[in-house]
Amino acid sequence: MSTTLAAGAELDFSLAQQLTVIALCALTAFIAHMALAVFNDGVRPFLLDFIQGRTTRSATTAVSFGLSAGFIFGLGAPMALSTGVLNPWLLFLPTDILGMLSPKKWLAPILGGAWGAVVVFGLNGANNIAHDLPVDFLTAMQQMSTPILFLFTLFPVLAITKQFGRKWGGVAGVVEVALVVMTMKLWPNMFAGALAMAVGVLMLIGLAVSKDLRQRRADRASGAVEEATGDDPMASLFSASAARLRKYLPLFMLLGAGVCVLAQMHIFGGGEATSFLIAKGQYAEAAQVDFYRVFGFIPLIATTALASGAYGIAGFTLVYPIGYLMPNPFLAAVVGALVFAVEVLALSWIGKVLGKLPSVRDSSEHLRSAIGDTLQLAILFGSLMAANAMGGGLGILVVGGLYLLNESMGRPVVRMAAAPAAVIIGGVLLNVLYWLDLFTPVKG
Protein backbone atom coordinates (compact mmCIF):
# COMPACT_ATOMS: atom_id res chain seq x y z
CA MET A 1 0.00 0.00 0.00
CA SER A 2 1.36 3.43 -0.94
CA THR A 3 1.56 5.84 1.94
CA THR A 4 2.77 8.86 0.01
CA LEU A 5 0.51 11.56 -1.36
CA ALA A 6 0.53 13.13 -4.77
CA ALA A 7 2.96 16.02 -4.77
CA GLY A 8 1.38 19.36 -4.10
CA ALA A 9 -1.66 18.66 -1.95
CA GLU A 10 -4.36 21.08 -3.11
CA LEU A 11 -6.46 23.27 -0.81
CA ASP A 12 -8.96 24.35 -3.50
CA PHE A 13 -12.50 24.32 -2.14
CA SER A 14 -15.82 24.52 -3.96
CA LEU A 15 -18.29 27.29 -3.05
CA ALA A 16 -20.42 24.84 -1.03
CA GLN A 17 -17.34 23.68 0.90
CA GLN A 18 -16.22 27.27 1.55
CA LEU A 19 -19.67 28.27 2.85
CA THR A 20 -19.86 25.14 5.05
CA VAL A 21 -16.50 25.89 6.70
CA ILE A 22 -17.36 29.58 7.24
CA ALA A 23 -20.83 28.78 8.66
CA LEU A 24 -19.49 26.04 10.94
CA CYS A 25 -16.71 28.30 12.26
CA ALA A 26 -19.31 30.99 12.95
CA LEU A 27 -21.51 28.47 14.81
CA THR A 28 -18.65 27.00 16.89
CA ALA A 29 -17.47 30.48 17.92
CA PHE A 30 -21.04 31.37 18.99
CA ILE A 31 -21.32 28.16 21.04
CA ALA A 32 -17.91 28.77 22.63
CA HIS A 33 -18.98 32.34 23.51
CA MET A 34 -21.96 30.92 25.40
CA ALA A 35 -19.61 28.43 27.15
CA LEU A 36 -21.79 25.58 25.89
CA ALA A 37 -18.96 23.67 24.19
CA VAL A 38 -15.25 23.97 23.34
CA PHE A 39 -12.98 21.71 21.33
CA ASN A 40 -9.95 21.79 23.65
CA ASP A 41 -10.45 19.15 26.37
CA GLY A 42 -8.00 21.01 28.61
CA VAL A 43 -10.09 24.20 28.56
CA ARG A 44 -13.42 22.54 29.42
CA PRO A 45 -12.75 22.10 33.18
CA PHE A 46 -12.03 25.85 33.48
CA LEU A 47 -15.46 26.76 32.09
CA LEU A 48 -17.35 25.84 35.27
CA ASP A 49 -15.86 28.84 37.11
CA PHE A 50 -16.73 31.07 34.14
CA ILE A 51 -20.30 29.73 33.90
CA GLN A 52 -20.79 30.28 37.65
CA GLY A 53 -19.30 33.79 37.49
CA ARG A 54 -16.16 33.09 39.53
CA THR A 55 -13.78 34.12 36.74
CA THR A 56 -13.83 36.61 33.87
CA ARG A 57 -14.16 36.14 30.12
CA SER A 58 -10.70 37.60 29.54
CA ALA A 59 -9.08 35.20 32.03
CA THR A 60 -10.82 32.21 30.42
CA THR A 61 -9.75 33.43 26.97
CA ALA A 62 -6.13 33.61 28.18
CA VAL A 63 -6.34 29.99 29.37
CA SER A 64 -7.83 28.91 26.04
CA PHE A 65 -5.13 30.70 24.03
CA GLY A 66 -2.33 29.34 26.20
CA LEU A 67 -3.54 25.74 25.84
CA SER A 68 -4.36 25.99 22.12
CA ALA A 69 -1.87 28.25 20.30
CA GLY A 70 0.86 25.60 19.97
CA PHE A 71 -1.57 23.10 18.45
CA ILE A 72 -3.00 25.65 15.98
CA PHE A 73 0.31 26.85 14.54
CA GLY A 74 2.49 23.82 15.22
CA LEU A 75 0.09 21.00 14.27
CA GLY A 76 -3.15 22.27 12.69
CA ALA A 77 -1.65 24.52 10.01
CA PRO A 78 1.28 22.22 9.04
CA MET A 79 -1.01 19.16 8.81
CA ALA A 80 -3.50 21.03 6.62
CA LEU A 81 -0.79 22.38 4.33
CA SER A 82 0.99 19.03 3.95
CA THR A 83 -2.16 16.90 3.40
CA GLY A 84 -4.57 19.34 1.72
CA VAL A 85 -7.15 18.30 4.33
CA LEU A 86 -8.55 20.56 7.09
CA ASN A 87 -8.45 19.41 10.72
CA PRO A 88 -10.09 20.32 14.05
CA TRP A 89 -6.98 22.03 15.49
CA LEU A 90 -6.99 24.51 12.61
CA LEU A 91 -10.76 25.14 12.60
CA PHE A 92 -12.09 24.67 16.12
CA LEU A 93 -9.26 25.70 18.47
CA PRO A 94 -9.22 29.26 17.01
CA THR A 95 -13.03 29.47 17.26
CA ASP A 96 -12.75 28.41 20.93
CA ILE A 97 -10.50 31.43 21.49
CA LEU A 98 -12.45 33.88 19.30
CA GLY A 99 -15.77 32.85 20.83
CA MET A 100 -14.52 33.35 24.38
CA LEU A 101 -12.75 36.57 23.40
CA SER A 102 -15.87 38.18 21.93
CA PRO A 103 -17.47 40.61 24.41
CA LYS A 104 -20.85 40.47 22.61
CA LYS A 105 -22.96 37.51 21.54
CA TRP A 106 -23.57 38.89 18.03
CA LEU A 107 -19.84 39.49 17.45
CA ALA A 108 -18.77 35.88 18.16
CA PRO A 109 -20.19 34.32 14.94
CA ILE A 110 -18.76 37.20 12.89
CA LEU A 111 -15.26 36.55 14.29
CA GLY A 112 -15.67 32.79 13.82
CA GLY A 113 -16.91 33.19 10.25
CA ALA A 114 -14.00 35.53 9.50
CA TRP A 115 -11.56 32.85 10.68
CA GLY A 116 -13.30 30.28 8.45
CA ALA A 117 -12.88 32.69 5.51
CA VAL A 118 -9.17 33.12 6.29
CA VAL A 119 -8.76 29.34 6.23
CA VAL A 120 -10.63 28.62 2.98
CA PHE A 121 -9.37 31.65 1.04
CA GLY A 122 -5.91 32.20 2.55
CA LEU A 123 -4.58 28.69 3.03
CA ASN A 124 -4.45 27.80 -0.67
CA GLY A 125 -2.47 30.97 -1.42
CA ALA A 126 0.07 30.09 1.27
CA ASN A 127 0.12 26.52 -0.06
CA ASN A 128 0.88 27.66 -3.64
CA ILE A 129 3.62 30.05 -2.51
CA ALA A 130 5.28 27.34 -0.41
CA HIS A 131 5.24 24.82 -3.30
CA ASP A 132 6.90 27.38 -5.60
CA LEU A 133 9.88 27.85 -3.26
CA PRO A 134 13.27 26.29 -4.17
CA VAL A 135 13.03 24.15 -1.01
CA ASP A 136 9.47 22.74 -1.05
CA PHE A 137 9.06 21.89 2.62
CA LEU A 138 5.33 21.14 2.31
CA THR A 139 5.89 18.28 -0.14
CA ALA A 140 8.71 17.09 2.13
CA MET A 141 6.24 17.04 5.06
CA GLN A 142 4.27 14.33 3.29
CA GLN A 143 7.07 12.01 4.44
CA MET A 144 5.28 12.12 7.81
CA SER A 145 2.42 9.97 6.54
CA THR A 146 4.20 6.59 6.73
CA PRO A 147 5.38 6.75 10.37
CA ILE A 148 2.10 8.31 11.51
CA LEU A 149 -0.08 5.66 9.86
CA PHE A 150 2.00 2.64 10.86
CA LEU A 151 3.09 3.62 14.38
CA PHE A 152 -0.46 4.76 15.21
CA THR A 153 -1.51 1.14 14.62
CA LEU A 154 0.26 0.15 17.86
CA PHE A 155 -1.67 2.39 20.26
CA PRO A 156 -3.92 -0.48 21.53
CA VAL A 157 -0.78 -2.53 22.32
CA LEU A 158 0.63 0.28 24.48
CA ALA A 159 -2.71 0.74 26.25
CA ILE A 160 -3.00 -3.01 27.00
CA THR A 161 0.59 -3.13 28.30
CA LYS A 162 0.06 -0.15 30.61
CA GLN A 163 -3.20 -1.47 32.03
CA PHE A 164 -2.81 -5.25 32.00
CA GLY A 165 0.94 -5.84 32.04
CA ARG A 166 3.71 -7.06 29.78
CA LYS A 167 2.27 -10.53 29.12
CA TRP A 168 -0.98 -9.28 27.61
CA GLY A 169 0.91 -6.45 25.91
CA GLY A 170 3.26 -8.96 24.28
CA VAL A 171 0.35 -11.08 23.08
CA ALA A 172 -1.37 -8.02 21.61
CA GLY A 173 1.87 -6.88 19.95
CA VAL A 174 2.46 -10.26 18.26
CA VAL A 175 -1.17 -10.43 17.11
CA GLU A 176 -1.13 -6.89 15.68
CA VAL A 177 2.16 -7.31 13.78
CA ALA A 178 0.94 -10.64 12.36
CA LEU A 179 -2.30 -9.00 11.23
CA VAL A 180 -0.42 -6.09 9.59
CA VAL A 181 1.80 -8.55 7.66
CA MET A 182 -1.26 -10.62 6.67
CA THR A 183 -3.21 -7.53 5.53
CA MET A 184 -0.28 -6.28 3.41
CA LYS A 185 -0.01 -9.70 1.76
CA LEU A 186 -3.70 -10.53 1.22
CA TRP A 187 -5.36 -7.10 0.86
CA PRO A 188 -2.67 -4.71 -0.49
CA ASN A 189 -5.21 -1.95 -1.27
CA MET A 190 -6.45 -1.82 2.33
CA PHE A 191 -4.77 0.29 5.05
CA ALA A 192 -2.43 -2.26 6.64
CA GLY A 193 -3.18 -1.26 10.23
CA ALA A 194 -6.99 -1.35 9.97
CA LEU A 195 -7.59 -4.96 11.04
CA ALA A 196 -4.78 -4.87 13.61
CA MET A 197 -6.25 -1.80 15.34
CA ALA A 198 -9.71 -3.36 15.40
CA VAL A 199 -8.45 -6.50 17.12
CA GLY A 200 -6.26 -4.50 19.53
CA VAL A 201 -9.09 -2.23 20.68
CA LEU A 202 -11.47 -5.20 21.06
CA MET A 203 -8.83 -7.01 23.17
CA LEU A 204 -8.47 -3.98 25.46
CA ILE A 205 -12.23 -3.55 25.92
CA GLY A 206 -12.68 -7.29 26.46
CA LEU A 207 -9.98 -7.40 29.15
CA ALA A 208 -11.42 -4.32 30.91
CA VAL A 209 -15.03 -5.54 30.89
CA SER A 210 -13.92 -9.00 32.05
CA LYS A 211 -11.99 -7.47 34.97
CA ASP A 212 -14.97 -5.31 36.02
CA LEU A 213 -17.39 -8.25 35.85
CA ARG A 214 -15.05 -10.39 37.98
CA GLN A 215 -14.76 -7.58 40.51
CA ARG A 216 -18.53 -7.14 40.74
CA ARG A 217 -19.01 -10.87 41.25
CA ALA A 218 -16.36 -10.82 43.99
CA ASP A 219 -18.04 -7.81 45.65
CA ARG A 220 -21.41 -9.56 45.63
CA ALA A 221 -19.89 -12.75 47.02
CA SER A 222 -18.26 -10.83 49.87
CA GLY A 223 -21.53 -9.00 50.61
CA ALA A 224 -20.18 -5.60 49.61
CA VAL A 225 -23.02 -3.09 49.24
CA GLU A 226 -22.98 -0.41 46.58
CA GLU A 227 -22.94 3.06 48.05
CA ALA A 228 -26.09 5.06 47.65
CA THR A 229 -25.61 8.32 45.79
CA GLY A 230 -28.02 10.11 48.17
CA ASP A 231 -26.89 13.68 48.67
CA ASP A 232 -23.68 13.30 46.70
CA PRO A 233 -22.73 16.88 45.68
CA MET A 234 -21.10 15.59 42.47
CA ALA A 235 -24.37 13.88 41.50
CA SER A 236 -26.29 17.14 41.87
CA LEU A 237 -23.62 19.02 39.89
CA PHE A 238 -23.73 16.38 37.14
CA SER A 239 -27.53 16.57 36.88
CA ALA A 240 -27.46 20.40 36.74
CA SER A 241 -24.81 20.31 33.98
CA ALA A 242 -26.76 17.71 31.99
CA ALA A 243 -29.94 19.80 32.32
CA ARG A 244 -28.07 22.91 31.10
CA LEU A 245 -26.88 21.09 27.97
CA ARG A 246 -30.31 19.55 27.26
CA LYS A 247 -31.81 23.06 27.36
CA TYR A 248 -29.80 23.92 24.22
CA LEU A 249 -30.46 20.63 22.40
CA PRO A 250 -31.56 22.28 19.07
CA LEU A 251 -28.27 24.23 18.94
CA PHE A 252 -26.27 21.04 19.58
CA MET A 253 -28.23 19.23 16.86
CA LEU A 254 -27.32 22.03 14.43
CA LEU A 255 -23.67 21.67 15.49
CA GLY A 256 -23.76 17.88 14.98
CA ALA A 257 -25.27 18.37 11.52
CA GLY A 258 -22.56 20.87 10.57
CA VAL A 259 -19.60 18.76 11.73
CA CYS A 260 -21.02 15.64 10.05
CA VAL A 261 -21.55 17.50 6.74
CA LEU A 262 -17.97 18.82 6.86
CA ALA A 263 -16.66 15.27 7.35
CA GLN A 264 -18.89 14.02 4.52
CA MET A 265 -17.31 16.51 2.11
CA HIS A 266 -13.94 14.74 2.54
CA ILE A 267 -12.05 18.02 3.02
CA PHE A 268 -11.67 17.38 6.76
CA GLY A 269 -9.93 14.75 8.88
CA GLY A 270 -10.51 14.32 12.61
CA GLY A 271 -6.96 13.22 13.48
CA GLU A 272 -3.36 13.07 12.29
CA ALA A 273 -3.57 9.60 10.75
CA THR A 274 -7.08 10.30 9.42
CA SER A 275 -5.94 13.40 7.52
CA PHE A 276 -3.47 11.35 5.47
CA LEU A 277 -6.05 8.61 4.84
CA ILE A 278 -8.67 11.16 3.69
CA ALA A 279 -6.04 12.76 1.43
CA LYS A 280 -5.48 9.38 -0.24
CA GLY A 281 -9.23 8.77 -0.63
CA GLN A 282 -9.30 5.88 1.87
CA TYR A 283 -12.51 6.98 3.57
CA ALA A 284 -13.54 3.60 5.04
CA GLU A 285 -10.10 3.22 6.69
CA ALA A 286 -10.28 6.81 7.96
CA ALA A 287 -13.69 6.07 9.49
CA GLN A 288 -12.28 2.99 11.18
CA VAL A 289 -9.33 4.90 12.68
CA ASP A 290 -11.50 7.69 14.07
CA PHE A 291 -14.06 5.18 15.36
CA TYR A 292 -11.38 3.52 17.53
CA ARG A 293 -10.31 6.90 18.90
CA VAL A 294 -13.86 7.40 20.19
CA PHE A 295 -13.28 4.76 22.89
CA GLY A 296 -10.45 6.83 24.33
CA PHE A 297 -12.47 10.02 24.52
CA ILE A 298 -16.05 9.11 25.55
CA PRO A 299 -15.25 8.90 29.31
CA LEU A 300 -13.12 12.08 29.24
CA ILE A 301 -15.69 14.13 27.31
CA ALA A 302 -18.66 12.77 29.27
CA THR A 303 -17.14 13.39 32.70
CA THR A 304 -15.74 16.85 31.88
CA ALA A 305 -19.08 17.83 30.28
CA LEU A 306 -21.01 16.66 33.37
CA ALA A 307 -18.56 18.38 35.71
CA SER A 308 -18.34 21.69 33.83
CA GLY A 309 -21.64 22.07 31.98
CA ALA A 310 -19.78 22.46 28.65
CA TYR A 311 -19.73 19.82 25.91
CA GLY A 312 -17.19 19.04 23.16
CA ILE A 313 -17.49 20.82 19.80
CA ALA A 314 -17.26 17.42 18.08
CA GLY A 315 -19.18 15.63 20.85
CA PHE A 316 -17.83 12.11 21.34
CA THR A 317 -16.32 12.51 17.80
CA LEU A 318 -18.64 9.78 16.43
CA VAL A 319 -19.84 12.26 13.80
CA TYR A 320 -16.38 12.11 12.14
CA PRO A 321 -16.43 8.43 11.04
CA ILE A 322 -20.17 8.55 10.33
CA GLY A 323 -19.69 11.63 8.13
CA TYR A 324 -16.86 10.07 6.08
CA LEU A 325 -19.18 7.21 5.11
CA MET A 326 -22.35 9.19 4.34
CA PRO A 327 -23.37 9.18 0.63
CA ASN A 328 -24.51 12.83 0.55
CA PRO A 329 -24.46 15.97 2.74
CA PHE A 330 -28.23 16.01 3.31
CA LEU A 331 -28.24 12.58 4.91
CA ALA A 332 -25.06 13.53 6.83
CA ALA A 333 -26.84 16.59 8.28
CA VAL A 334 -29.82 14.51 9.48
CA VAL A 335 -27.68 11.73 10.95
CA GLY A 336 -25.22 14.18 12.55
CA ALA A 337 -28.09 16.04 14.26
CA LEU A 338 -29.57 12.79 15.56
CA VAL A 339 -26.21 11.52 16.84
CA PHE A 340 -25.65 14.74 18.82
CA ALA A 341 -29.20 14.59 20.19
CA VAL A 342 -28.64 11.04 21.47
CA GLU A 343 -25.23 11.97 22.94
CA VAL A 344 -26.53 15.00 24.85
CA LEU A 345 -29.64 13.18 26.11
CA ALA A 346 -27.58 10.14 27.18
CA LEU A 347 -24.89 12.07 29.09
CA SER A 348 -26.29 11.40 32.59
CA TRP A 349 -26.79 7.70 31.83
CA ILE A 350 -23.24 7.41 30.40
CA GLY A 351 -21.86 9.05 33.55
CA LYS A 352 -23.67 6.49 35.75
CA VAL A 353 -22.49 3.53 33.63
CA LEU A 354 -18.88 4.73 33.74
CA GLY A 355 -19.15 4.98 37.52
CA LYS A 356 -19.86 1.22 37.61
CA LEU A 357 -17.08 0.23 35.17
CA PRO A 358 -13.81 1.57 36.63
CA SER A 359 -11.56 -0.62 34.44
CA VAL A 360 -13.30 0.54 31.26
CA ARG A 361 -12.88 4.13 32.48
CA ASP A 362 -9.18 3.44 33.11
CA SER A 363 -8.89 1.91 29.62
CA SER A 364 -9.91 5.21 28.05
CA GLU A 365 -7.17 6.99 30.01
CA HIS A 366 -4.61 4.44 28.80
CA LEU A 367 -5.93 4.68 25.22
CA ARG A 368 -5.57 8.47 25.17
CA SER A 369 -2.10 8.25 26.68
CA ALA A 370 -1.09 5.55 24.16
CA ILE A 371 -2.44 7.59 21.22
CA GLY A 372 -0.36 10.54 22.44
CA ASP A 373 2.79 8.41 22.85
CA THR A 374 2.56 6.76 19.42
CA LEU A 375 1.79 10.00 17.60
CA GLN A 376 4.52 11.87 19.46
CA LEU A 377 7.17 9.42 18.22
CA ALA A 378 5.61 9.16 14.75
CA ILE A 379 5.43 12.93 14.26
CA LEU A 380 9.01 13.43 15.48
CA PHE A 381 10.31 10.61 13.26
CA GLY A 382 8.26 11.82 10.29
CA SER A 383 9.46 15.38 10.78
CA LEU A 384 13.09 14.22 10.69
CA MET A 385 12.31 12.26 7.49
CA ALA A 386 10.84 15.49 6.06
CA ALA A 387 13.94 17.39 7.17
CA ASN A 388 16.15 14.85 5.38
CA ALA A 389 14.01 15.06 2.22
CA MET A 390 14.27 18.84 2.01
CA GLY A 391 17.80 19.44 3.28
CA GLY A 392 19.72 16.22 3.91
CA GLY A 393 22.03 16.35 6.91
CA LEU A 394 21.67 20.13 7.25
CA GLY A 395 17.87 19.75 7.30
CA ILE A 396 18.11 17.17 10.09
CA LEU A 397 20.51 19.42 12.01
CA VAL A 398 18.19 22.43 11.79
CA VAL A 399 14.89 20.65 12.47
CA GLY A 400 16.29 18.32 15.14
CA GLY A 401 18.14 21.25 16.71
CA LEU A 402 14.99 23.37 16.90
CA TYR A 403 13.11 20.46 18.50
CA LEU A 404 15.89 19.93 21.08
CA LEU A 405 16.05 23.68 21.75
CA ASN A 406 12.30 23.67 22.45
CA GLU A 407 12.81 20.78 24.89
CA SER A 408 15.68 22.52 26.70
CA MET A 409 13.64 25.74 27.02
CA GLY A 410 10.86 23.94 28.89
CA ARG A 411 8.65 23.33 25.81
CA PRO A 412 7.17 26.74 24.98
CA VAL A 413 5.66 24.84 22.01
CA VAL A 414 3.87 21.64 23.07
CA ARG A 415 5.88 18.53 22.19
CA MET A 416 3.32 17.15 19.70
CA ALA A 417 3.43 20.36 17.66
CA ALA A 418 7.13 21.21 18.07
CA ALA A 419 8.50 18.95 15.31
CA PRO A 420 6.09 20.01 12.48
CA ALA A 421 6.64 23.66 13.48
CA ALA A 422 10.41 23.03 13.31
CA VAL A 423 10.02 21.62 9.76
CA ILE A 424 8.29 24.81 8.59
CA ILE A 425 10.82 27.11 10.30
CA GLY A 426 13.64 24.92 8.98
CA GLY A 427 12.17 25.04 5.48
CA VAL A 428 12.02 28.86 5.55
CA LEU A 429 15.62 29.00 6.84
CA LEU A 430 16.87 26.64 4.09
CA ASN A 431 15.21 28.86 1.47
CA VAL A 432 16.96 31.91 2.93
CA LEU A 433 20.29 30.03 2.79
CA TYR A 434 19.55 29.12 -0.86
CA TRP A 435 18.91 32.77 -1.76
CA LEU A 436 22.20 33.66 -0.03
CA ASP A 437 23.88 31.00 -2.23
CA LEU A 438 24.86 29.01 0.87
CA PHE A 439 22.73 25.90 0.25
CA THR A 440 21.82 23.69 -2.71
CA PRO A 441 18.42 21.95 -2.44
CA VAL A 442 18.35 18.16 -2.26
CA LYS A 443 17.47 16.67 -5.68
CA GLY A 444 14.24 14.71 -6.12
Write down the pLDDT at residue 219.
79
Contacts 24+ apart (CB under 8 A), 280-287: 280/2, 280/3, 280/5, 282/191, 283/324, 283/325, 284/324, 284/325, 285/190, 285/191, 285/194, 286/321, 286/324, 287/320, 287/321, 287/322, 287/324, 287/325
Per-residue DSSP letter, 411: -
Identity of residue 17: Q
> Per residue in 387-414, is it b (16+ CB within 10 Å) or e — as a string?
bbbbbbebbbebbbebbeebeeeeeebb
Q: What is the pLDDT of residue 235?
A: 62
Amino acid identity, residue 243? Answer: A
Q: What is the phi-psi region of residue 102: left when phi exceeds 0, alpha when psi lies from -120 to 50, beta otherwise? A: beta
What are the residue ranges in the chain where pLDDT is below 70?
A: 1-10, 223-237, 443-444
pLDDT (0 to 100) of residue 298: 86
- pLDDT value of residue 4: 47
Please name which of 129, 122, 116, 135 lies closest in space to residue 389, comparing C-alpha atoms: 135
pLDDT of residue 229: 45
Number of C-beta neighbours around residue 376 at 10 A = 16
Looking at residue 123, what is its pLDDT?
87
